Amino acid sequence: MSILVVGSVAFDSIKTPFGEVDDVLGGSACYFSTSASFFTDVSLVAVIGDDFPQEHIDFLSSREIDLAGLQRSAGKTFRWKGRYDYDLNEAHTLETHLNVFETFKPEIPAAYRDAEYVFLANIDPELQLDVLSQVKNPKLVACDTMNFWISGKREKLIRTLEDVDILVINEAEVRQLAEEPNLVKAAEIVRGFGPRILVVKRGEYGVLMFGEGSIFSAPAYPLDEVFDPTGAGDTFAGGFIGYLAATRNLDEHNLRKAIVFGTVMASFTVEKFSLERLKEIDYNDISDRYKKIKLLTDFADLD
């Protein structure tokens, strides 16, 4: 089953303790759709400038991502420049140039309007709500957001969340959105805004999923080389929603498997810059790592 994703396609310039790259392919919708494409079909809605090279279009097409919703506008593609120190959990933004993204107004092609699975990547909550007004009757709506919208467009964001089934955000953002320091309490408050499932991303500490009367904890896969965490969260979401859409099953059991597939995908992304590592792997690599996470977490029932 096809997923519709709306978000950013960007050029990233990144410096980590392990290396430095300029103007590599990035953006939430790129990471999400590439990751999800290992599980199901994806339709991407985003905007690029006239400087966006055919090479990247070819790559996304090679992943069988439907690009009919990829608008090309006059001007430059969105650019982000950031730096990470040894604490790879924290990105330091050096420059943000919205460029063509500044006036981006998502137009959902007619063919996508009956999408059953929708992922609203981290964009203005008003645009997220506008996207939802253009789709007919999705089975599942998931979204991401960030501190910038939580503080700057709180009311609009909370309105959007009313129509969202799954919210996928960072730990500090859950606390900020709920205005509550305890994570378990904060999760209940945020679920009260609308999403019946809250997925809390904790970087190298993994993920907590809060549902109705249940919590699931998944660790991150411990890596001896974390090269660049950029895109890990969107890659996680791509694997998570991708698996759900592929299996068309939203029960707790399957949601948990989906969380682990998301974790697996994110663990590959951080091993190299940009989407380089995702370009190398296949489904065998994914299932191998899924099994390793199972071994990492297994312990015996109480006798």
Contact residues: a second copy, CB under 8 A: 17, 86, 181-185, 202, 204-206, 208, 214-219, 222-226, 253, 256-257, 259-260, 287, 290-291, 294-302
Dist CA 62 CA 278 (whole Å): 12
Q: Tell me whether residue 68 or residue 215 sits nearer to a second copy (CB atom).
A: 215
Q: Tell me whether residue 137 or residue 253 sits nearer to a second copy (CB atom).
A: 253
Q: Tell me whether residue 148 or residue 205 sits nearer to a second copy (CB atom).
A: 205
Give the pairing type, strands 91-97 and 79-84: antiparallel
Dist CA 43 CA 4 (whole Å): 5
What distance, in Å, lies between the first and last C-alpha atoms of the chain? 42
Provide, rounded to whole angstroms, the least separation between the CB of residue 19 and a second copy: 15
Q: Tell me whether residue 212 or residue 298 sits nearer to a second copy (CB atom).
A: 298
Q: In what order do the strands lie in the sheet with 65-72?
A: 65-72, 42-48, 3-6, 117-120, 140-143, 166-170, 197-201, 207-211, 214-218
Provide, rounded to whole angstroms, the least separation between the CB of residue 297 and a second copy: 5
Say how far residue 122 (Cα) sits from the centre of its chain: 8
Spatial neighbors of 265 by CB under 8 A, at least 6 apart, are 35, 38, 235, 236, 238, 239, 278, 286
Dist CA 55 CA 101 (whole Å): 20
Dist CA 203 CA 205 (whole Å): 5
Q: What is the DSSP letter of 111?
A: G
> How many of the other CB atoms lie within 10 Å of CB of 203?
19
The owner of tokens 């709180």 is 154
Provide, rounded to whole angstroms, the least separation between the CB of residue 211 and a second copy: 12
Give the pairing type, strands 91-97 and 117-120: unpaired
Provide, rounded to whole angstroms, the least separation between the CB of residue 3 and a second copy: 22
Alpha helices in 52-110 (DSSP H): 54-62
Provide, rounded to whole angstroms, the least separation between the CB of residue 122 and a second copy: 24
CA distances from 217 to 157, 180, 211 (A): 26, 20, 12
Provide, rounded to whole angstroms, the least separation between the CB of residue 166 and a second copy: 17
Provide, rounded to whole angstroms, the least separation between the CB of residue 243 and a second copy: 11
Q: Tell me whether residue 93 or residue 284 sits nearer to a second copy (CB atom).
A: 284
Q: Tell me whether residue 79 or residue 201 sits nearer to a second copy (CB atom).
A: 201
Q: Tell me whether residue 103 or residue 182 sits nearer to a second copy (CB atom).
A: 182
Spatial neighbors of 287 by CB under 8 A, at least 6 apart, are none
Q: Tell me whether residue 19 or residue 222 sits nearer to a second copy (CB atom).
A: 222
Provide, rounded to whole angstroms, the least separation between the CB of residue 188 and a second copy: 8
